Structure formats: C-alpha cells, structure tokens
Amino acid sequence: MTFNDVLMEYPDATLLKQGGQKAAYRIEHPVYGHSVLKIGTYKSPRELERIRREVATLRDIDSSYYPKNYDFQVISQDRFVIIEEYIDSRPLSKCLQEYSEPRRALAFTKELANGLNVLWQRNIVHRDVKPDNVLVVSSGEPKIIDLGIARLLDMESLTTLRGAPLTMAYAAPEQIHHHQGVIIDHRTDQFNIGIILVQLLLKGEHPFDPRVVGTGYSVPENIVSNNWHHSFLSGPSLSRIRPLATKLLGTQQFQRYRTPETLLNDINQCIERLG
Amino acid sequence: MEIFHQLGHNFNWNVESLHDDNAGDGLILAPRYMKRERVEGMSLVLRERSFFDPQFFLPNTQRGQLASYNFFPDVVADGFETSEYSDSLAQEGALRCVRFQIENWFRYIIIPTRHVSGMPSNYQSMQENMFVLPFLEACQRLSASQPIVLQMVVTEHMLKDEAYFNNLLNWVTGLRGISGVYLIVDHGGRSKQVKDLDLLIALLKFVDYLKQNDLIVILGYLNTEAFLLSIAHPNVIPIGSYEGTRIFNIKYFQEQEQLIIRGPTPRIYVPMLLQLINHNYINVVRRATTAQGDLFEENQYKAIMFKPTYQWHFSKAELYKDYFTVFSNQLRQLASYKDRERYQVVSQKIQDAIGLFTTIEGRGVVLDADSDGSHLPIWLTAANEFAISKSWR
C-alpha cells in the first residue's frame, strides 16, 4: 500500500514509525504547525470503528495527558488519515531506568494515574497501558497514547476480550483469564499501573518475568497466579511502597482500589511517607 | 457497629423495644408486614433511624401488605412477568420506590433484589437490568442525598464456590454510585444455629472484602451468629423476634399468611452460652452452673418470666423483648473493641461458652440439639481461620 498521494501534500514529512499497514510522519501543517500525520489502512468496518472511537475519545477528553487530535478522514482504498499533536518525547519503555528512585517512581505513577483518571471519570478504560504506550515529555510528565482498544463501560464493546489486541505481558489477570461474567473496568488499568510502578523500581525489569521471579513460568502464567518479584520491597523505604504495589497487583479486582480517589490518596500518602 | 431490628410479624415489639428499652439503634422496615400508611405514620425521628427493605424477593408474589405499595413490581406491571418487566416498567417502579424512600427520610436508600436459587450465571445482568441500573438512575434523577445501599441475597453455594464468590465481589465492588451492601444469606436454615464451617468462613471473608472496599455493610436476617460475624466489622447487625426474621427463608414470601405453621418452643437467650435454650431447661441449667453465678441477666422481662406461675408461650412479647435487650447489650459491648481485640473477646466468649456447656453436660443435663452448644466449636474454628487470614493470630 502506498501513501505517496497523501504525502504529496506534506513535502517536508519525516518518517517517525512504520509498521504493517500504517505509518506515522512528522509534518509541518499549515494550520496546526508541528504535527503527526498517521496514515493507515483498515481491513474491516470493525477496525475502522475502533479508529473512529479512539479519535472521538481524544477529541472529547481534551486533556494535557493525551495528544490532541486535529483531524480525521477516511480516504480512498480503505485508508484513513489522522493528524495529531506532535509530542517531543521518548517512550517510557526507553527510559524506565531513569525512574528507579522511589520518590521519582511514585511521582511518575501518580501522574500516570491522574492521566488515566481522565478516562475513568468518563467511564472509559484504556485496557492497554504499557511503557510503549506512555510517552515521556521533556518535563518528565507522561502522555498516554493508543486508545485503540479503550472501552466505554456502558457500551457494548467492539473489541471483545478474546479478540482484543492487548499486550499479554501487561495484561491484568481478568484479561488473560477471561470467562463469562468477567468485568473490565478502571481496576484493570490499575493492574497495568502496578506493573509499571514495580518495573520502574526494578530499573526496567518486569516484575512477572520468570527470570526475575525465579520460576520457569511465563509472564502471563505468573500474572494469573500472582507470582511477582516483591521481596526487594522489604527495605526501610521500599517497604512503604509494598502495600500500594500489592493492592494494585491484586489478582482479583476487588483486591484493588474501588475508586480512583482512594488510589491517588494512597500514592500521595506513600510519597509523603518517603519524605 | 449498630444494631437494627429486622421487622416481621408482631413488629410492634421491636418498635417498643427500641423506644422503651433502648435496645438497638434502628429498624429495618418490612412491607410484607407493614401497610404503607403504617410506615408513613411513624414518627420522623424513627424513620430517620431506620431504613426500608422493599422486599422484592419474589416480584410476582404480593403477599401480606406488599400490595399496598405502588412500586412493588407486581403492582407496577399489573402482573409481573420477567420478560415483560421492560425498561419503562423497571424505571417507573424504581422512580416510585426511590421517591418513597427519599420522602420518608430513611437512613439509607435500598436498591432491592430478587431472590434466586443456586448459582445462576446471569445473576449480575439480571439484577443490573431489573433493579440496579433503574434505581441508580432514579436516585440521580431525584437527587437522593442518603447513602445508596444495594441489597444482595446470596446463597450458600454462591459464597462457597470460589469463582462465583470472586465474580460477585468483583461485580459489586465495581458498581459506581453505591455506598454499601445490605447482605442477606440464604443458607436453607437447616439448623437454628449456622453450623456450616465453610459458609461461615466465606461469609466472614465476604464481609471483610466489602469493608476493605470502603463499603457500608448491613447484615440482614441473622440469628445469634451475628455475634461471631461481628469480627468482620459490619456496620449494622440485625436482631429479630421470630425465626422468620432471624433466618432468611423465601417460603415466608411465597406462602399464604401462615407465618407460624406450628407453635415454636419458647426459648430464652443465655448470653454466656451464646445460645437460645428451651425454657424447660432453665432451672437445671441454673443448678448446673451455680458456681459460675447466674447465667441469666436480670431485667424486667426476666422478672415476669421467672415467676413460677408464668405460662410460657411463643406468642408472649417478654420472650422476645428479653432477647432484644440481652443480645443487643452483648453486641454493644463488642462494639468498643476493634480488629484483633474484638476477635480475642469473641473467641474467648465462645471458649467460655464451650466450657459452660461441658460443665452442664457433666452434671447430666442433656440439652436438645437446638439448645446445646454444638455450633460453638464450629464458630470458634471459623473465628480462628478468619483471624489467621487477617494476621491476628
């Protein structure tokens, strides 16, 4: 699939990322200035609807934690064009080690939770929070991207659990162990936050990685059996974070935080206790 | 921890006990037994201390006084059928019921539930569509200011099945807009005292998880196991007169006005034994435990009942008023203890009661199966198991 016809409008376009049937370019837009041009193809009406939903969500929330959407168009040959705010940033996955200091890790986690709370307050769950989907801007604050499988809780989901392209290494137990009656809500995102928090403290090591845990099980198996590396959270300062991490990583949703407010309150208390 | 009277047949005894004897803190009003005018005619002070249980357990059965409420599903729908209880009917019923609860200034607004048996796979969606969502919407529309509490009737199977237990908790703790749960356990009532160890442990944990989620927990329809369950720190514990208010049984909402099919044996509550014993045994138990002092707490009702000329009969008010007074005193003493301390007090009382039963038995007193202490080792084990899970032991 070629995107040359679209790119002709932006002679200064610089390729940022290309994969599969999609590509992202940095452009200088005559109206929006520095922007990101995303061009891609969709294979089904379902996929197109997913893209439309992401765009609609971004437009609706208008928050500094998310890139702004400027334009969305469906063009010929089953293709779509999105123009978004350009964010000068690095993905968190490339700079996890920089946040291993406990106060820094907590402050970042708090910002991440605040950002996700913007979605939760609208009854939306991100469902794919992972370091690749969190960008870090120069001030150190997070920007959350890829709301492609975000789910509005009171609507029939377009992305069924079985078909959802979630990332297994960051999936909550209820996303891995799906069965009838399973509930996906903001507490599902909390589990993802829990993994990121511990991963920051572990200088980038995944807390459910069998090499870190010391078992031969896979990451998803360790997630389902709540087998994570927590013994390092026993020192005088890190032990203060352990209850927070343990609650975020609760196997059952009722073991996590019922409300975003209690989660944010606990993070704040942890930060205060660390001084 | 507060104590609420679970109202039923002869509910005036409860009202008088609360008012005259200061036994308990509030009332759980029961439309099955109380006409709407009777509820609305209560003093505002009393209504503010109480809440109204809509008793929608069997939405198509207008037993007792339920027909006098224009929000009872069978009344709203003019003949309730699950498939026909459509959105508009459910919303209209919810709106009327919530308005009634708001206008009467009840302490909580209760979202009712229907009774189901076993472990239905559609429990959550059925309750949500029929009651939870319409009631939450009605509360929002009418700007309800009282805490909104969801009623749940759970079966012993639901609590004892780990996956179902988890799903139920995940569901209820994920409902936005509720502040608490009014929890009733349908355990079949095979014995007067709950002797199912797995059920008791599961129930203690269920209550504890709800509390850990900052939800108000109101327990309904409990016998003296309320004493044991206090270690999970529910906010409200019920006391009731006849068994129909102490053991949840759907039959009381199914059958014709025959609450008392056969006259129950009059029993008297002995706090040190944590048991209601057959009145015939009072004197032998007293003689067997002389060294331990009088097991029967003095009050104005004992003064009447312990006269030699007293004619024991299950329909006499003093039997129940004595129970309300004595049991609520015992529960109130526990309220001042928290967490591990409360567990220690409760477990010590259970051990003391086991010791007393041993003494009684040692004197050759053979109590009937509903008066003996056979439930106590099970209660103690449940308390200990729960304490281990809480790292109190």
The per-residue pLDDT for A218 is 92
Nearest CB neighbour to B173, from listed A123, A181, A254: A254
Check A78, A128, A189, A266 and give the catalytic one: A128
The per-residue pLDDT for A166 is 66
What integer is the mean pLDDT of B49-68? 91
Domain ranges of chain A: 4-85, 89-274
The per-residue pLDDT for B259 is 52
Instruction: For residue range A71-108, list pLDDT tens digits in order.
Output: 999 998 889 999 999 999 999 999 999 999 999 999 99
The per-residue pLDDT for B69 is 92
Among B65-69, B210-214, B325-329, B347-351, the minimum mean pLDDT is found in B65-69
Among A176-180, B318-322, B334-338, B351-355, the minimum mean pLDDT is found in A176-180
Q: Of the spans A71-80, A217-226, A237-246, B348-357, which averages the highest pLDDT?
A: B348-357
Token pair, residue A235, equals 């020192």
Q: How far is CA B130 from CA A53, B71, B124, B324, in A?
A: 29, 13, 10, 36
| Inter-chain touch A183–B171, beta carbons under 8 Å | yes
What integer is the mean pLDDT of B350-365? 96
Distance (Å, rounded) from C-alpha B127 to C-alpha B122? 8
Strand-pair category, B275-278 with A14-19: unpaired
Overall CATH class of domain A89-274: mainly alpha
The per-residue pLDDT for A3 is 83
What integer is the mean pLDDT of A155-183? 66
What integer is the mean pLDDT of B149-178? 96
Burial class (CB within 10 angstroms; exposed 0-12, middle 13-18, buried 19+) of B267: buried
Residue A150 confidence class, pLDDT cut points 50, 70, 90: low
pLDDT tops 90 at residue A51: no
The per-residue pLDDT for B287 is 93
Higher per-residue pLDDT: B255 or B360 = B360
Residues 6+ apart with CB under 8 A from B373: B273, B274, B275, B353, B354, B356, B357, B367
Chain B residues in contact with A180 by the CB 8 A cut-off are 121
Higher per-residue pLDDT: B189 or A68 = A68
Amino acid at residue number A67: P
pLDDT tops 60 at residue A152: no
Question: How many residues in total does chain B contain?
Answer: 393
Distance (Å, rounded) from C-alpha A208 to C-alpha A169? 8
3.40.50.200, 3.50.50.60, 3.20.20.140, 3.30.200.20: CATH of A4-85: 3.30.200.20
| Inter-chain touch A252–B121, beta carbons under 8 Å | no
pLDDT tops 60 at residue A162: no
Residue to mutate among B126, B137, B173, with most A CBs inside 10 A, is: B173
Residue A208's closest CA among A245, A259, A262?
A245
Higher per-residue pLDDT: B48 or A128 = B48
The per-residue pLDDT for B74 is 86
Instruction: For residue range B190-216, list pLDDT tens digits in order.
Output: 888 999 999 999 999 999 999 999 999
Distance (Å, rounded) from C-alpha B41 to C-alpha B31? 13
Nearest CB neighbour to B173, from listed A174, A180, A253: A253
Average pLDDT value over all residues in chain A: 88
The per-residue pLDDT for A149 is 61
Residue A112 confidence class, pLDDT cut points 50, 70, 90: very high
Q: What is the CATH number of domain B2-254?
A: 3.20.20.70
Helix locations, chain A, DSSP H: 4-7, 45-61, 102-120, 173-176, 186-201, 210-213, 219-224, 242-248, 260-274
User: Cβ–Cβ contacts within 10 Å for residue B32, how many?
Assistant: 21
Q: Of the spans A52-66, B223-237, B248-262, which averages the highest pLDDT?
A: B223-237
C-alpha dihedral sign at B6, B11, B15, B20? negative
Q: How far is CA B197 from the centre of its chain?
A: 19
pLDDT tops 70 at residue B45: yes
What integer is the mean pLDDT of B143-155? 97
Chain B residues in contact with A253 by the CB 8 A cut-off are 170, 173-174
What integer is the mean pLDDT of B262-271? 89
Distance (Å, rounded) from C-alpha A266 to C-alpha A130? 21
The per-residue pLDDT for B119 is 92
Residue A160 confidence class, pLDDT cut points 50, 70, 90: very low
What integer is the mean pLDDT of B350-355? 98
The per-residue pLDDT for A27 is 95
How many interchain CB pairs under 8 A, A with B?
36
The per-residue pLDDT for A163 is 38
pLDDT tops 60 at residue A164: no
Chain A residues in contact with B214 by the CB 8 A cut-off are 258-259, 262
Q: Is A128 a catalytic residue?
A: yes
Distance (Å, rounded) from C-alpha B283 to C-alpha B286? 5
For Cα atoms A233, A263, B205, give the angle at the middle one, nearest 5 degrees: 80
The per-residue pLDDT for B260 is 52
- Interface check B173 vs A, CB under 8 A: yes
| Inter-chain touch B174–A187, beta carbons under 8 Å | yes
pLDDT tops 80 at residue A122: yes
Higher per-residue pLDDT: B349 or A184 = B349
Q: What are phi and psi of B122, to 5 degrees?
A: -100, 20
Token pair, residue B83, equals 């498939």
The per-residue pLDDT for A271 is 95
The per-residue pLDDT for B264 is 84
Instruction: For residue range B60-115, list pLDDT tens digits in order.
Output: 888 888 889 998 988 888 887 777 777 788 899 999 999 999 999 999 999 999 99
| Inter-chain touch B170–A258, beta carbons under 8 Å | no
pLDDT tops 70 at residue A156: no
CA of A226 vs chain B CAs: smallest distance (Å): 15
pTM: 0.91
Instruction: For residue range A173-214, list pLDDT tens digits in order.
Output: 999 876 666 788 999 999 999 999 999 999 999 999 999 998
The per-residue pLDDT for B257 is 52
Higher per-residue pLDDT: A106 or B263 = A106
Scan for tokens 């080792």, then name that residue. Answer: B377
Higher per-residue pLDDT: B325 or A215 = B325
